């Protein structure tokens, strides 16, 4: 009988996998990876937790990461970017779908009557910073070519030498501030149309919203938003009868042009940034209708873009440098220890940009972030930190306080369900929260799998994808 020792011929990942499979506690290691659902970059933690009976001082349960085969506890990374972690991105999209859907048709803590409130789906776009290659409906592009949908030229400037890259980057950097000013003017426009003072309008009506940011092909963000009118206490109350969808639509169209942000710099001059002329506002129909913008369709649409990021426009999904110092040469850690900057040579002179596998237009926007980020007047924008996002530094999905449930509440409910399932499976008694205390201490160890564990995680993700496809095709 001939025995082949694969350790001498297999790749390091396979050798590590063989070592993991032969571990006495492999079943537990596999269980941890299964529970992560195919997460590609899990967080590794070390520490322990103890459950104590406060009346007797008895230790009811204890857990230590030292008991794990790998010496650490694995938790999902939770990254929303599909290019970084498809598994966590899918879960984030599902949570976002429920968050949006609940705010449109009720459920959880939101009453079903919310579906009768006036609500619209609005898209606010960026202005033009120079002509770009596009696909007009009935005529060729300005360059004389009819571009295919996948043409890489789409969205790039016709004349890069005259394109306003500084304005484009500054718009991305101020997009969050523009949205905040838009909501302020929206409330004022609503009050004016209802012939009320702003104070009186706040007493009878509230504007609730949820929005996501999407990158256009030209590298500029625009916002998709669900905007709803409620009573003063939020989703539990209807707005006044005079606050109709028509009034809300007119107010949005009047508020968008008024939202402006002024920027002054000796280098780029005086700029006044605002939204583009393309503004789309459509009423959201009730669930179950055949309308294009039903609450279900809108929730699915918003959830789709909540997991996309700048990588969808051909740029990067992670920072170029971890700790830019804005020209000071060092970065101070929280405890005051100086750390050499990773973005400059230690004297404040910027390091050259690394070679990036991105389109020329995207690279120029990143370079513009790099150049503007060195100017003192733009230090607060942290353009070095957000160069990989082409200057955009806001959250990709946000909502007002009273729109619906929070992502945190959805995650807490899922965590509580999993904890209860684990307790029931282990046959443990249900803890009394009034007499038990959980004490824990955890430290961050790192992220990612060992090479062998990464192969197992990939297999888990592939299997779960096959199960989803089978279910989607009507399998049972």
Cβ-based neighbours of 419, under 8 Å, separated by 6 or more: none
71-122 confidence digits (pLDDT tens): 888 999 888 888 888 888 888 888 888 899 999 989 888 999 999 999 999 9
The answer to whether the Cα torsion of 357, 361, 366, 368 is positive or negative is: positive
333-347 confidence digits (pLDDT tens): 555 566 667 767 666
d(CA 287, CA 271): 44
Give the pLDDT confidence score for residue 346 in this predicted structure. Answer: 63
CB 191 within 8 A of CB 200: yes
Number of other residues whose CB lies within 10 A of the CB of residue 303: 21
What pTM, to 2 d.p., does this model score? 0.85
34-58 confidence digits (pLDDT tens): 888 888 889 999 999 888 888 888 8
d(CA 306, CA 310): 11
Closest CA to 174 of 121, 225, 127: 127
Position 395 pLDDT exceeds 50: yes
What is the percent of the chain where pLDDT is above 70? 88
Number of other residues whose CB lies within 10 A of the CB of residue 361: 26
The torsion defined by the Cα of 363, 320, 447 and 331, in degrees rounded to 10, comes to -170
Helix (H, G, I), strand (E, B) or coil at 45: strand
Q: What is the mean pLDDT of residues 367-378?
A: 89
Closest CA to 373 of 395, 394, 356, 350: 350
CA 230-401-420 angle, to 5 degrees, is 115
Q: What is the mean pLDDT of the chain?
A: 85
397-428 confidence digits (pLDDT tens): 899 989 998 888 888 888 888 878 877 877 77
Which helix (H) or strand (E) segment is 22 a member of? Answer: none
d(CA 74, CA 85): 15
CB 134 within 8 A of CB 154: yes
Q: Are strands 119-124 and 206-215 parallel, antiparallel or unpaired?
A: unpaired
d(CA 141, CA 134): 6
What is the percent of the chain where pLDDT is above 90? 35
Strand partners, 271: 263
């Amino acid at each position: 009988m001939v025995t082949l020792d694969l350790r001498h011929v297999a790749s390091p990942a396979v050798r590590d996998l063989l070592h993991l499979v032969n571990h006495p506690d492999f079943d537990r290691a596999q269980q941890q990876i299964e529970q992560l659902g195919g997460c590609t970059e899990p967080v590794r933690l070390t520490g322990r937790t103890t459950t104590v009976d406060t009346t007797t001082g008895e230790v009811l349960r204890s857990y230590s990461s030292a008991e794990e085969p790998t010496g650490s506890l694995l938790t999902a990374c939770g990254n929303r970017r599909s290019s970084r972690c498809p598994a966590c991105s899918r879960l984030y999209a599902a949570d976002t779908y429920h968050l949006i859907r609940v705010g449109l048709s009720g459920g959880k803590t939101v009453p079903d009557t919310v579906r009768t409130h006036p609500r619209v789906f609005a898209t606010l776009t960026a202005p033009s910073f120079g002509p770009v290659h596009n696909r007009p409906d009935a005529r060729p592009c300005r360059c004389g070519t009819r571009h295919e949908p996948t043409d890489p030229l789409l969205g790039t400037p016709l004349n890069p030498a005259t394109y306003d890259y500084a304005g484009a980057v500054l718009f991305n950097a101020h997009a969050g501030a523009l949205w905040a000013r838009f909501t302020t003017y929206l409330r004022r426009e609503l009050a004016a149309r209802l012939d009320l003072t702003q104070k009186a309008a706040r007493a009878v009506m509230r504007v609730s919203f949820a929005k996501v940011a999407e990158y256009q092909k030209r590298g500029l963000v625009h916002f998709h938003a669900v905007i709803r009118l409620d009573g003063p206490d939020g989703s539990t109350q209807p707005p006044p009868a005079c606050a109709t969808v028509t009034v809300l639509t007119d107010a949005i169209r009047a508020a968008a042009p008024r939202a402006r942000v002024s920027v002054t710099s000796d280098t780029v001059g005086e700029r006044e940034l605002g939204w583009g002329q393309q503004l789309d506002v459509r009423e959201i129909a009730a669930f179950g209708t055949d309308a294009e913008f039903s609450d279900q369709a809108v929730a699915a649409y918003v959830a789709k873009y909540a997991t996309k990021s700048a990588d969808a426009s051909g740029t990067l999904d992670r920072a170029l440098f971890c700790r830019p110092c804005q020209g000071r040469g060092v970065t101070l850690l929280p405890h005051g220890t100086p750390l050499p900057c990773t973005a400059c040579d230690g004297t404040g002179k910027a390091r050259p940009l690394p070679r990036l596998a991105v389109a020329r237009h995207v690279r120029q926007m990143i370079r513009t972030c790099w150049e503007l980020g060195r100017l003192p007047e733009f230090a607060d924008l942290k353009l070095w930190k957000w160069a990989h996002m082409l200057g955009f530094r806001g959250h990709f999905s946000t909502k007002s306080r009273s729109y619906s449930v929070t992502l945190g509440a959805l995650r807490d409910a899922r965590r509580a369900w999993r904890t209860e399932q684990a307790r029931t499976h282990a046959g443990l008694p249900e803890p009394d929260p009034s007499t038990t205390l959980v004490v824990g201490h955890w430290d961050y160890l790192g992220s990612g799998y060992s090479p062998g564990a990464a192969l197992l995680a990939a297999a888990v993700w592939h299997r779960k994808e096959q199960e989803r496809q089978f279910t989607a095709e009507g399998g049972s």
